[in-house]
Amino acid sequence: MTIFAIIFYSAIFLSSLFSYYMFKKEKRRHKTRARLPPGSMGLPCIGETLQMYTQDPNVFFASKQKRYGDIFKTRILGYPCVMLASPEAARFVLVSHAHLFKPTYPKSKEKLIGPSALFFHTGNYHACMRKLVQTSFSPEVTRKLIPDIERLAISSLESWANGQVINTFDAMKKQFAFEVGILSIFGHLNKKYTDLLKKNYSIIEKGYNCFPLKLPGTAYHKSLMARKRLNQILGVIVRERKENNLSANNLLGHLLNFRDENGNTLSEETIADNIIGVLFAAQDTTASVLTWILKYLSDDPKLLVAVKGEQKAICESECGENRSLTWAMTRNMPLTYRVILESLRKASVISFTFREAAVDVEYEGYLIPKGWKVMPLFRNIHHNPEFFADPGNFDPFRFENPPKPFTYMPFGSGMHACPGNELAKLEMLVLLHHMLTKYRYDVNI
């Protein structure tokens, strides 16, 4: 056989192999495309980001669900995503098959909160940190905070009661919710440290959702500098507590007392990351929902009268308005509590959560490829008439009967659900009690 013939037949053989490889690859790609959920990926790179942000994102998700069903794909901020809008899907991702998914956050946000914060993790580390946090927010610990929460609520209301118009969300977040967060983490803290923490934390918040440009003068760069200062402040507090052997039944106390199986303690950086993570989670939901509650009550004068009546009855039955609240009294506010539950549902402050497929996952016959973002849509579920009749109507009496499993997830679900949700509801009850029995307010939108 001549050299030419050898080259010729070798070329044919290699060409055949390449063609077979490309055929199989295209077949696999076609099969994958066929198994992906329905939906549109939008424009190259940016996907449907513009459509989502040029309208209310909740309207965007609702229109997609109406068109494609409870599972659909899209591309947001450059990431391919699968949206899930059914209780069964939420349970699959967050509970029964949670090991197939992992939390996902932009690196820029991890740097501001701290990479060791528990909600960035899964596995043993997450379980260990979550246990510490849950212990710090247990009912036994929380009920002992009532006198201090009440003191903070009264102080906040007095500072707002001068007849001026206030931004309710900002006022509740920067003062009441922040200070309750400090209380639950540190117990009683020197005012100079509280002021320093508040000052630098507010700088971080301003840069949290900004473009992560590290140039001096940008909001993000200022946030990074504030984050470094927070580490220094928290380091001083930690060392003071250690030197004075101050161990309390709060989050910092549990973090300081922790020892792993080898007797190792947590580093100051790990403690700081988890404190800032909890502080970050402790404010927005509480302040937002309290703001919505005031609006919803203002929209329904009869309901407002009924809630005020419930709170005044507590005052009268407990020997006057100046009587301090007790745990038992907060358990005797059924209508007010249902108003909180319904506000959490209707406002759905936490509209969705992010996960990322750690492996290729099959659900309901569809493929969720490894690396794709997965978003359980809590708001869509909360506003589904199949689970909540007339979902656009504010009706706290719907909670006279408990909702079906995984149809109501205002604080998330599974191992990454908010561990401080009962404290948040207690804060709301205490503040509403004093506000509705001692003050009048008007809502301006």
Q: Which of 401, 402, 341, 411 is nearest to 376 (CA)?
A: 411
Is-contact 375 57, C-beta < 8 A?
A: no
Instruction: Report CA dihedral (141, 133, 135, 192) to the nearest 10 degrees.
Output: -30
H or E element at residue 363: strand 361-363
- According to the 3-state scheme, what is the secondary structure of 161-220? CCCCCCCHHHHHHHHHHHHHHHHHHHCCCCHHHHHHHHHHHHHHHHHHCCCCCCCCCCHH
Using DSSP's 3-state secondary structure scheme, residue 356 falls into strand
The pTM of the full predicted model, rounded to 2 decimals, is 0.87
Token output for 7: 């080259």
Residue 319 annotated as part of some ligand binding site? no
Is-contact 413 419, C-beta < 8 A?
A: no
Q: Which of 101, 55, 106 is nearest to 77 (CA)?
A: 106
Backbone angle region of 185, left / alpha / beta, with phi > 0 → left and psi within -120 to 50 → alpha: alpha
> Which letter, b or e, does each residue of 151-189 get, where b requires 16 or more Cβ atoms within 10 Å of its Cβ?
ebbeebbeebeeeeeeebbebbbbbbbbbbbbbbbbbeb
Q: What is the pLDDT of residue 382?
A: 98
Is-contact 290 431, C-beta < 8 A?
A: yes
- Parallel, antiparallel, or unpaired: how do β-strands 373-376 and 79-84 relate? parallel
Q: What is the pLDDT of residue 74?
A: 95
CB neighbour class for 19 (10 Å; exposed up to 12, middle 13-18, buried from 19) = exposed
The amino acid occupying position 51 is: Q
pLDDT tens across the length of the chain (445 residues): 565 545 544 555 555 555 445 445 444 544 445 599 999 998 888 888 888 878 888 889 999 999 999 999 999 888 999 999 999 999 999 999 999 999 988 888 899 999 999 988 988 999 999 999 999 999 999 999 999 999 999 999 998 887 678 888 888 888 899 999 999 999 999 999 999 999 999 999 888 878 888 889 999 999 999 999 999 999 999 999 988 876 678 899 999 999 988 888 999 999 999 999 999 887 888 899 999 999 999 999 999 999 999 999 998 886 566 678 999 999 999 999 999 999 999 999 989 999 999 999 999 999 999 999 999 999 999 999 999 999 999 999 999 999 999 999 999 998 888 889 999 999 999 999 999 999 988 887 7
Question: Which residues are 374's β-sheet partners?
Answer: 82, 355
Is-contact 244 383, C-beta < 8 A?
A: no
* CA–CA separation, 17 and 122 (whole Å): 43
Q: What is the pLDDT of residue 27?
A: 45
Q: What is the pLDDT of residue 8?
A: 44
Question: Which residues are 176's β-sheet partners?
Answer: none
Instruction: Report CA dihedral (88, 89, 95, 98) to the nearest 10 degrees.
Output: 160
- Parallel, antiparallel, or unpaired: how do β-strands 373-376 and 355-357 relate? antiparallel
